[in-house]
Amino acid sequence: MLREIVLDTETTGTDARNGDRLIEIGGVELLNHIPTGQTFHRYCNPGRPVSEGAFAVHGLSDAFLSDKPTFAQILPELRAFLGDGRLVIHNAPFDVGFLNMEYARLGADAPPPIALEDVVDTLPMARRKHPGAANNLDALCTRYGIDNTRRTKHGALLDAQILAEVYVELLGGKQTSLGLLAAETAAPAAAAVVEAVSAAPRPFRSRLTAAERARHDAFRASLGPAAVWSDYVGADESA
């Protein structure tokens, strides 16, 4: 059973190495690429102001975040949700960089850093599949017909839910589902044909000539009544 966690974060800015912090984490659980309905969503008090540029993207204000728990306080719950699931992230270096920065701040209590090679990054996946095209989340939603009208602002859980749909499409999910749909649609029709053929009368007409039948009857008579197949010769054999 393949367990994956589609993850997204929001931050105070774009530079984890210069003090920007995580303020929101959203995750969606997949089993064999199918959402289970299990999600994770928490806000964090970063202990520093949100930049104007970041606020314009996600709309999370300092006042809104002021009474939220710290990252250290939500970490046990986050780790329990992540478990041993493989992470799926769009532009993984950004989110992994922030997560590892938050881990490093915890000192001796920190979990091991996340290795990028252990993460499925959907951005290079999309670039390989659609070279030269825009491959941000909105562009991918448009390309795959995924409804993102609720996405007026970036939000970690909503973006993770949308990314889960995009990820399945990048794996070929739409083509696979169409194939299954065609097979499911064709199956009842095929079954009806088989049923009709099975129910149809199957008249049998002998192709023996009268002379051939006479010789055959004479041969049978010469074998006597104990011949094995005498029990299986029907009265309508000559029909």
Say what the pLDDT of residue 92 is: 98
- What mean pLDDT do residues 112-135 have? 96
Threshold 0.75, pTM exceeds = no
Q: Which residue has the higher pLDDT, 204 or 67?
A: 67
- Position 104 pLDDT exceeds 50: yes
Looking at the domain assignment, is residue 65 inside a domain? Answer: yes
Looking at the domain assignment, is residue 184 inside a domain? Answer: no
- What mean pLDDT do residues 5-10 have? 97
For 198, phi and psi rounded to 5 degrees? -65, -35
In the residue annotation, 154 being an active-site residue is answered as: yes
Give the CATH number, domain containing residue 114. 3.30.420.10
Looking at the domain assignment, is residue 186 inside a domain? Answer: no
In whole numbers, what is the pLDDT of the chain averaged over residues? 84
Looking at the domain assignment, is residue 225 inside a domain? Answer: no
- What mean pLDDT do residues 128-134 have? 95
Which residue segment(s) compose the domain that 48 sits in? 3-177
pLDDT band at 197 (very low <50, low <70, confident <90, very high): very low
How many structural domains compose the chain? 1
Query: Which residues touch 138 (CB under 8 Å, ≥6 apart)?
Result: 148, 151
- Position 235 pLDDT exceeds 50: no
- Please tell me the least confidently modeled range out of 14-18, 62-66, 204-208: 204-208
Say what the pLDDT of residue 148 is: 83
Looking at the domain assignment, is residue 239 inside a domain? Answer: no
Structure tokens at 228: 């094995």
pLDDT band at 226 (very low <50, low <70, confident <90, very high): low
Looking at the domain assignment, is residue 89 inside a domain? Answer: yes
Looking at the domain assignment, is residue 111 inside a domain? Answer: yes
Q: Which residue has the higher pLDDT, 226 or 62?
A: 62
Which residue type occupies 154? H
Per residue in 157-187, pLDDT (tens digit) is 999 999 999 999 999 975 444 444 444 444 4
What are residue 11's DSSP bridge partners? 22
Which residue type occupies 32? N
pLDDT band at 129 (very low <50, low <70, confident <90, very high): very high
Say what the pLDDT of residue 30 is: 98
Say what the pLDDT of residue 25 is: 98
Q: How far is CA 106 from CA 16, 19, 48, 75, 99, in A?
A: 15, 14, 17, 10, 11
The alpha-helical segments, DSSP class H, found in the chain are 52-58, 62-65, 71-82, 92-105, 122-129, 137-144, 156-170, 173-199, 210-223
Looking at the domain assignment, is residue 206 inside a domain? Answer: no
- Position 43 pLDDT exceeds 90: yes
- Position 230 pLDDT exceeds 80: no
Say what the pLDDT of residue 214 is: 78
63-71 long-range contacts (CB < 8 A, ≥24 apart) are 65/23, 68/23, 68/42, 68/43, 68/44, 69/42, 69/44, 69/45, 70/44, 70/45, 71/21, 71/22, 71/44, 71/46, 71/102, 71/105
Per the residue annotation, which of 41, 58, 130, 154 is the catalytic one?
A: 154
* Kind of pairing between the strands at 22-31 and 3-11: antiparallel
